[in-house]
Amino acid sequence: MELTALHKLSHQQAGTLGELLALAKLNTLGLAAYISPEGAPGHDLIVVVHGEAKSIEVKTRQFLERPTEITRWPVDLGTKGEADFFLFVELDLRTITPTFFLLTNAQARETHRISSGMGNCYPAHVRKLVKRNDFAPLLAVI
């Protein structure tokens, strides 16, 4: 059997996969998490905490060899800025293994920079600000 070279997924495929992996992770933590209705403004997932809905915007970027291939997570705070949390996903395509970085809205705003008209959160800053796979900020509100 001949192996073919890995190729990156389309942005839409990577985004959908990241959202589904995030949903699965949140549910395995014992949280009631749901995909937001199609077209819901400003967020991708909803987590119910103490009967209150919290919104999560998920941003996924993929890499083939090393996480440093990911140079930014594009974030439009004009349309997504009301989300309670931002979940940045680094997706290792070799194993389909996600690494999650959960930020509060305030933390996402702290890492957000405008360049060439686009807003981005940069991985180096995100990695310094929060620990990988640390869901404590969300679990703390339980």
Average predicted confidence (pLDDT) for the chain? 88
CATH code where residue 115 lies:
3.40.1350.10
CB contact at 8 A, 58 and 87: yes
120-131 pLDDT, tens digit per residue, is 889 999 999 999
| Structure confidence at residue 17 (pLDDT) | 95
62-97 pLDDT, tens digit per residue, is 999 999 999 999 888 776 778 899 999 999 999 999
Q: Does the residue 2 lie in any domain?
A: no
Amino acid letter, 53: A
Number of folded domains that form the chain: 1
- Contact partners, residue 71, CB within 8 Å, separation at least 6: 122, 123
Residue 142 has pLDDT above 60, yes or no: no
| Structure confidence at residue 1 (pLDDT) | 53
Domain containing residue 21: 11-139
Residue 41 has pLDDT above 60, yes or no: yes
Q: Does the residue 37 lie in any domain?
A: yes
